[in-house]
Structures are given as structure tokens and as C-alpha cells.
Amino acid sequence: MKNKLLYLFFLFFFPFVLFGQEIITDLSLNPVIKNMVINPKKQKTSICTLPFIDDFSINSVFPNDSLWSNTFVFINTSYSKYPTTIGVATFDAINDTGALYEDANIYGFIADSLTSQPIQLDTIPGISPSAIKISDSVYFSFYYQPQGVGNAPEKNDSLVLEFYSPKTQKWYHIWSDTGSTVQKFYDRYNVWFKQVMIPITDSSIYFHKGFRFRFYNYASLSGNTASMAGNADQWNIDYVYLDKGRNKADSLYKDIAFVEPAGSVLKNYTSMPWSQFKINATTEMKDTLHMTITNLDTIIYNSAYKYSVIQENGSWTSNYDGGSYNIYPYKNAGYQTYVKHASPDINFTFPLITSDSARFLIKHTIKEGILGDANRNNDTTVFYQNFYI
């Protein structure tokens, strides 16, 4: 009888113990990176010259290996909040295989790092190379943001910047900041991404061939009642820039750029089966798209916007021309609001082919006028519209 009572107790009570509490945890892996890492990427070593600039608009989950010597950070267009331009480098607790670091713990550990390739900081290249001097006014700058749309780093977490001296063969601490939520960060600085400007004035230590810099973050995992831990303490950096002839007020760039990635042309889905789409093709399509374009300079640029739609493994194409229009500086007017650029019409219908699937490349471009652009990597954004079973 006693055993029966115990059996009834566990039968009715134990399910409530198992399922009575719902717990939300951070991801313990990054599926995007995990799916990319089939053959580990081999990094090459190269010498960079000035200017060194990267806004992480490259179409890859890994950093550009012509500029960076490791692959631990995650290059993406979705983890940040109001980035400077499209694409950021995210530091978190997940390594370059998409898994949590083996030494991850709740007390604190060094997680991601991003290290530049060696840089020729001894001479200014050209037909007649000349030695770099303090009077050349060399500055290093970047934008950064804690949390973004992910997990906020705590006060005991931090983002760190170090410089490497080829002469002393040592790394030197240059800058760091402690964690906070992105809202507290905005309340403090009145910007979503804050720029850091650092003059490089110690010529004896740093003005040598082989100068490098690196970022890394201290992270600490969060525990909960289920003893589960996940990815945490995210930082985003954007627009890393090293060059001569700069000054501490040099916070503007001759650059027109996309800020957000291109999206689906479907009303309700990112993708859908082709057989389902063909039934109500017209009603499934949006009327307009939303494009976010910025001008990082202080002057007005006249710029042209277009998009093209190309059928994969087919001959069908369609083109949209939004024409040219002035793009006013972001600091004065915010993002581009001209309707034919910011809210372009969807002026096409996909061809109703008979196959059971279809794929279309939608490519958006902006092109500056006669004044040119300092960084063309962020002038294009693409979206693959998939129709699969």
C-alpha cells in the first residue's frame, strides 16, 4: 500500500516539477556560423597600408581576411541597433565554430577577439615613400555599442582595445569600456553607436612596419535554476578606421551607405513554396519596399538608387530605377526620405514558371554623383527570394 501511495505521488506531482516553469535562455550556439564551418577557414597573412578601413559590410559571417588575422567575431546585419552602416562585427561568448567557448563560465573569461593584419605604419607608400611622423596626425577610430538587440554585457564585462608594437613586441592597453544595456548607453551618450577617436602619437613605439591592433571582450555566462547557460554579453563594433591627416573632430565620412539589409518582397513570409505562391501571386506581394540609406558626411550628395531582379538559372529579369536625388547629411536630416529611394515600388510580378521551385536575386545599389565615395562596399545590398517546397 505504501508503494502504491508513493507511485501515485510521483505520477501526479512529478510532471508539474518538470513542466511547471518555462525558462528562456540565450542560444548556446550560433547556427549561422555552425552551418558555415565545414572546412575551417585558413587565414592568410598580409601587410596592410594606410588607410585601413572596414565597416563590416562584406557578405560573409567571417571578417575580411585581407584586413584581419582571425575569425572569432560574427559579421552580421541583424545583431545591432541602428548601426552606422550595414554590417557590424559582434563580440559574444561563441567561437568561430559556432559553439560556446570551452572555458566559458559565470565568473568571467576572455571570449572573442579581432586582430588586424600587420600594418605598414612606418612609411607612407607611393612613388616617393616618406616616413610617417607625428605631424602626419595619425588617428585610429571605431564605433561601438553594447547589447544591440541581444544580451547586454554586465558591469563586470568589458570590451578592450590594444595596440601592438613591433619594436617592443608587446601589446599595450589603449581603451576599454564596461558593459551596460543599449538603452542606458543611449541615455548616457545620446547615440546608439558611439565613436572613439584615438591619436597615435608615440612614434618610437608604434610607427613601425608590423603595427597591429586588436579588440577582445570579457564575458560571463548567466546561470539559472535549470543550470543552463547560453550566449551572452554582446558588443557590436562598426567602421574601424586608421589613417593619417585626421583630427579629434574627424567624425564624418565621405560615404553614402545602406544601413539595413534588403528584405523579402513578400507580404507575410521571407520565403514560401512556389506552388503556394503561384495560386495568389499578386496578393502575396508587397506594394513597396523599405530601404534605409544614410549620408555620413556634412554636405549634400546627389545619388542614384536602383534595384534589379534576376531569375536564377533562367533568363527573366526586371529593373527599377529610382532616379537621382539629394541625400542630406544624417546629422541634420536622418535617413533618406525621398520616396523613390526610401520606399521604392515593387513594379514587377515574378514569371509563373512551371517548375516546382524558383529563386531570384534582388540587388539594390546606390551610386554617388561626381563627388565620389570613400567606401563602396556598403553601396550594395542583396536579397535572395526563395520559393521552395
For residue range 306-359, list pLDDT tens digits in order.
999 999 999 999 999 999 999 999 988 899 999 999 999 999 999 989 889 999
CB neighbour list of residue 98: distance below 8 Å, 6 or more residues apart: 29, 30, 31, 32, 33, 34, 35, 36, 37
Most confident by average pLDDT, 26-35, 39-48, 214-223, 232-241:
232-241
* Whole-number percent of the chain with pLDDT over 90: 72
Among the listed ranges 44-58, 195-209, 278-292, 305-319, which one has the minimum average pLDDT value? 44-58
* Whole-number percent of the chain with pLDDT over 70: 85
For 136-160, write each residue's pLDDT tens digit.
999 999 999 999 999 999 999 999 9
| Residue 370's pLDDT band (cuts 50, 70, 90) | low
Q: Which residue has the higher pLDDT, 351 or 249?
A: 351
| Residue 375's pLDDT band (cuts 50, 70, 90) | confident
Amino acid at 53: I
- Residue 34, pLDDT above cutoff 80: no
pLDDT the model gives residue 127:
79
Task: Give me the mean pLDDT over the 266-282 stretch.
Answer: 95
- Round the average pLDDT of the chain to a whole number and report it: 87
Q: Which residue has the higher pLDDT, 370 or 293?
A: 293
| Residue 225's pLDDT band (cuts 50, 70, 90) | very low
Fold observed for domain 31-243: Jelly Rolls (2.60.120)
CB neighbour list of residue 258: distance below 8 Å, 6 or more residues apart: 57, 85, 86, 291, 292, 293, 294, 364, 366, 378, 379, 380, 381
pLDDT the model gives residue 358:
95
Task: Give me the mean pLDDT over the 355-375 stretch.
Answer: 85
pLDDT the model gives residue 22:
39
Q: Which residue has the higher pLDDT, 334 or 114?
A: 114
Question: CA–CA distance from 272 to each of 14, 278, 307, 349 (Å)?
Answer: 41, 10, 22, 15
- The CATH-assigned architecture of domain 256-387 is Sandwich (2.60)
- Residue 208, pLDDT above cutoff 90: yes
Among the listed ranges 18-32, 157-171, 183-197, which one has the minimum average pLDDT value? 18-32
- Residue 37, pLDDT above cutoff 70: no
The ranges assigned to domains in the chain are 31-243, 256-387
| Residue 49's pLDDT band (cuts 50, 70, 90) | very high
| Residue 14's pLDDT band (cuts 50, 70, 90) | very low
Are 154 and 107 spatial neighbours (Cβ–Cβ below 8 Å)? no
Among the listed ranges 178-192, 196-210, 321-335, which one has the minimum average pLDDT value? 321-335
pTM: 0.84
pLDDT the model gives residue 40:
47
pLDDT the model gives residue 27:
54
| Residue 389's pLDDT band (cuts 50, 70, 90) | confident
| Residue 298's pLDDT band (cuts 50, 70, 90) | confident
CA–CA separation, 255 vs 146, rounded Å?
Answer: 24
pLDDT the model gives residue 36:
55
| Residue 58's pLDDT band (cuts 50, 70, 90) | confident
Task: Give me the mean pLDDT over the 228-256 stretch.
Answer: 85
